[in-house]
Amino acid sequence: MREVLFRVTQLFSRRAVVAWWVALVTVGIALTWVPLMGQPGYELSAGLTLLLTFAGAGLAITSARAHAGPLASAVLLALSTVPALLVATLRTRFGTPCDPFAGVAFVPLLILPTAGLVSIFGALAVYLTPRRWLAAALYAGLIVLTAVSTAWPLIAGPQVFAFNHLGGYLPGPLYDEELSVPASLLWFRLATVLLAVGVGALLQRKHKRGALLLTLFAAIELGGTPLGFRMTDAALAEALGGVVETDELILHYPSGLSDQDVSRVLGDVRFRHHQITAFFGAPPPGKVKVWLYRSAEEKQRLVGAAHTQFAKPWRREVHVNGLGFPHPVIKHELVHAMAAPWGAPPFGVTASLGGLSPHVGVIEGFAVAADNPVDDLSLHEWAAAMKKKELLPPVASLMTPQGFYGAPPSRAYTTAGSFLRFLGEQFGKEKLRSLYRDGDFERAFGEPLPALAAKYETFLDGVPLLADAVNQAFGRFRRGSLFERPCAREVGRLAAEAGAAIASDPQRARDLLARCRALQPDEPSHALAEAHALRRLSQEEASRALLDSELDRLEGEPAPWAEAALTRADLAQEEGDLATAETLWRRVVERQISPTMERTSQVRINGLGVEAVHRYFQPGEDDVKLFFLREASEAHPEAWSVRYLMGRKLQLAGESGAALPVLEKLLAQELPPAVAKETTRLTIEAAFALGRCDTLAKYAAPGRFGAAFDARAADWVERCAFAW
C-alpha cells in the first residue's frame, strides 16, 4: 500500500497527469447538474463510469508511460470521481429532502471495476506500443471490442438490459422508477474485476495467476445466461415454457397458463394483428413473435424493463406483461413490430443518418396513432383536455428525442399519438407511412413541422369536451416526469416496499409512506396510502385527521380531492358516520370529476346502509362478497347497487353466463348515466365471452354515452365478428 501511495504521489508531480485528473474532476462535478445526476445514485455513477471509460484513457496511458503501475493509475481514476460524489452528496443532503445514500450501492459497483479496467487497458496499450497516439488508438479499439460484445446481445437477442465491462450497466428503459441492484450485476462486475486483475497479472509476467483469473472470467462470461446478464431466444423460450404458432404470429407464454387463458390471449393478439393490417392496408411480411411474461419481476430478471412493455421491430417481436383481457398495450407494441418494413433499415424505425439516429417522438406517436386507444375519452379528447389544463407538451419539441424523454411519459405518448393521428386524418395514411421512414415532416406533408404543430393545436381548441374531461385529464396527467419529481428513485423504492408490507407489517408501511410524503408533499397518493396503513393499525383518528387535511389542501384540485374524499367517506362509513360519508359522495357526484368516481359515489349512496355493498369495497375473498350480495339482493330489492355489484363481480371473475342475465335485468331499470354506461360496458363484454354477437351489437348501438364509448363498443363488435 505504501508503494502504491508513493507512486500516486509521484504521478501528481507530472503536469500531464494533473491536467488529465483536473479535467476528469471538472467534468465529473459538471455532471452533478444534469437531471437525475444530482444524487450519488445510479445515474451519476453511470455517468462517471462513462467519463472514466472515454476520458480516463488519457490519464491511464500517461501513467503507464511513466511506469507508475496500473494500481496507482486505478487509484487516481477512482479518486477523480470523489469530488463529484461529494458535491452530489452535499447538494442532496443540504439542498433537498432526499436521502443521499438511497442509491449508493451503485457507486462502488459501477465506478471501481471500471477504474481498474481502464487503468489495465491503458497499461496494455502502452505495453503493446510505445507511441502515445498508437496506444490511444489501441485503447479505442478495446472500447469498440467491449461495445460490440455488449451491443450484439441487444441487437441479436431478446434482452434490453446491457452490461459492459467498461461502461457498466443499463437496466433497460428508465421509465421504471424503482431501481435496485440485481444479482446479475454482482456476477458481471466480479467478471470485470477478474478480467482486470488477470490481464494485470499477465503484464507482470505472472502467467499462471493470470491464466487462472482469466479462466474464471471466461467461466462467468460463458455462464452469462444462467447468471442473468445475457439472454438468448432458446433460454427465454425454455424459461417461459409455452409456445403456440399461427399463420400470423408465434406466441411464447408462461407454462402455467390454462388452455382457456392461452386461447384468449392468442385470440386477442390475432385480432389486434388483423386491425393493424387493415390500418396499414396490407399485411407486412413474416410472422410477429410475442413474448408474454408472468409478472413484471420475471420480465425484469429475464430481459429487463420491469413495468415497461417494449418491441424490437428489427426482430419483429414484442415483450409484454400479462395485463388482463383485452391487453391494454399489445396493439401499440404490435404496431412497432409490424411497421418495421416502413421504417429505416437496419432497425425498422423512423431514423435519419443512415438509420442510426431514431426519431422517438415519431416512432411512439405512430404506434399510439395506429393503436388509437380509447377509454373514458378519445385520444384527441385527452390531448384537448391537457391543453386546456396547460399540461400539453410543446408539440414540435416532442418530435425530438430530448423533448420526448423530457416530458412525462403519459403526456408525451398521448400528445405524439394524437398529433400524428391528426396528420393521418388530414393528409391520409399513405403520407403518414411515408413520414415513418425518416421523420421528415416537410417532405411527407409539404409543410414544416412548426406549421403543422400550430394547425394541430388550433384543431385541439375545437374538440368538444364534456364538463368532467378537463378534471379527468388533470387526474391522469398531473404527475411530472422522472426528471421533475423530487427524489424519484428513492420514492419509487420506498413506495414499492410499502406496498409489499401493507398487509404483513402496516407499521413499516406507514413509516415508509410517511417518508414518501415528506419527500413529495404535493403527491396525494402517498397520503392516501398512509391513511390506509393507519386504518390497518386501528389508528382511525390519525387516519381521519390526515385525510381531512388532504381534503382541505386539495380543494382546488378536483381529481386528487375526489380520491381523498372517497377514502375519507369509506372511513366515515366504517365509523358509523353515514351522514359524513353521504355528504362526501354527493359532493363527488356534483363536481363531475370523472365517470369512475361519479359511478362509485352513486353506488355507495344507493347502497348506504346495505352491509353487502360496504363489504364489497373492503378487502376480502370474492366468493364471500358474492354470497353477501346474493343475500342482499333478496333483502333489498330496491337497491340497484346490489345487483350492479353482483353482476360486475361475476363478470370480472369470468362467470359471464351468470353475469349476463343480472346485467341485462339491471339495464331494464332507470340508472344514473355513469352507472348505466359501465353496466352496458360489462354487458357487452359478457356477451362477447358467450359468443352472443347479436346481444353485443344491441347494447353497442351508438349515440348513448358519447364518442369515446361508441368507439370502444364498435371495437367489441368488430372483435366479436372476428372471433365468432
pLDDT of residue 484: 59
End-to-end C-alpha distance for the chain, whole angstroms: 77
What 3-state DSSP class applies to 312? strand
Cα–Cα distance between 22 and 97 in angstroms, integer?
A: 31
What are the contacts of 681-685 at 24+ separation with CB within 8 A?
681/709, 681/712, 681/713, 682/647, 682/648, 682/651, 684/713, 684/716, 685/651, 685/656, 685/716
* Residue given cell 413474448 in the structure block: 291
Cα–Cα distance between 299 and 293 in angstroms, integer?
A: 6
pLDDT of residue 197: 96
Tell me the CA distances in angstroms from 188 to 40, 106, 183, one per residue in order: 21, 13, 9
Burial of 356 (0-12, 13-18, 19+ CB in 10 A): exposed
* Residue given cell 368507439 in the structure block: 711
Helix (H) / strand (E) containing 259: helix 259-280
DSSP-derived pairing of the beta strands 351-352 and 357-358: antiparallel
* Residue given cell 411474461 in the structure block: 293
C-alpha cell recorded at residue 342? 416502413
Cα–Cα distance between 41 and 167 in angstroms, integer?
A: 15
Please report, to the nearest 10 degrees, the dihedral formed by the alpha carbons of residues 422, 425, 431, 436 taken in order. Answer: 40
pLDDT of residue 96: 83
Cα–Cα distance between 398 and 389 in angstroms, integer?
A: 18
pLDDT of residue 485: 66
User: Residue 190, Cα to own-chain centre: how many angstroms?
Assistant: 29
pLDDT of residue 42: 92
pLDDT of residue 626: 87
Cα–Cα distance between 205 and 195 in angstroms, integer?
A: 15
pLDDT of residue 136: 92
pLDDT of residue 457: 95
| pTM to 2 decimal places | 0.86
Q: Using an 8 Å Cβ cutoff, are 163 and 225 in contact?
A: no
Q: Using an 8 Å Cβ cutoff, are 228 and 191 in contact?
A: no
Q: Where are the domains of the chain?
A: 2-171+182-227, 232-342, 607-724
Q: Using an 8 Å Cβ cutoff, are 97 and 487 in contact?
A: yes
Tally of CB atoms within 10 A around 664? 17
Cα–Cα distance between 391 and 473 in angstroms, integer?
A: 9
For residue 365, give the nearest of 393, 341, 389 by alpha carbon: 393
Q: Using an 8 Å Cβ cutoff, are 703 and 674 in contact?
A: no
Q: Find the length of the chain.
A: 724
Superfamily in which the 232-342 domain is placed by CATH: Collagenase ColT, N-terminal domain (3.40.30.160)
Beta bridge partners of 163: 169
Q: Using an 8 Å Cβ cutoff, are 724 and 697 in contact?
A: no
Cα–Cα distance between 366 and 159 in angstroms, integer?
A: 23
Residue-wise pLDDT for 77-129, tens only, equals 999 999 999 999 999 889 888 888 888 999 999 999 999 999 999 999 999 98
Q: Using an 8 Å Cβ cutoff, are 469 and 385 in contact?
A: yes
Per-10-residue mean pLDDT for the chain, 724 residues long? 69 83 96 88 94 94 85 92 96 87 92 97 91 92 94 94 94 71 95 96 94 97 95 96 95 93 95 91 86 93 91 96 92 94 92 89 93 86 89 89 80 94 92 91 94 95 80 69 68 85 88 88 87 89 91 86 90 90 93 88 92 86 88 88 94 93 94 94 96 96 88 95 91
Tally of CB atoms within 10 A around 706? 18
For residue 493, give the nearest of 172, 181, 42, 179 by alpha carbon: 179
241-245, strands of its sheet edge to edge: 241-245, 249-254, 288-293, 317-321, 310-312
Mapped to the 3 state alphabet, what secondary structure does 345-377 carry? CCCCECEECCCCEECHHHHHHHHHHHHCCCCCC
Which phi and psi (to 5°) does residue 709 adopt? -65, -40
Please give the CATH architecture assigned to the domain spanning 607-724. Alpha Horseshoe (1.25)
Please report, to the nearest 10 degrees, the dihedral formed by the alpha carbons of residues 84, 87, 93, 94 taken in order. Answer: -160
Q: Using an 8 Å Cβ cutoff, are 244 and 266 in contact?
A: yes
Tell me the CA distances in angstroms from 283 to 251, 273, 275, 276, 343, one per residue in order: 18, 9, 10, 8, 15
pLDDT of residue 661: 95
User: Residue 502, Cα to own-chain centre: how many angstroms?
Assistant: 23
**b/e map 630-645, b = 16+ CB within 10 Å:** eebbeebeebbbbbbb
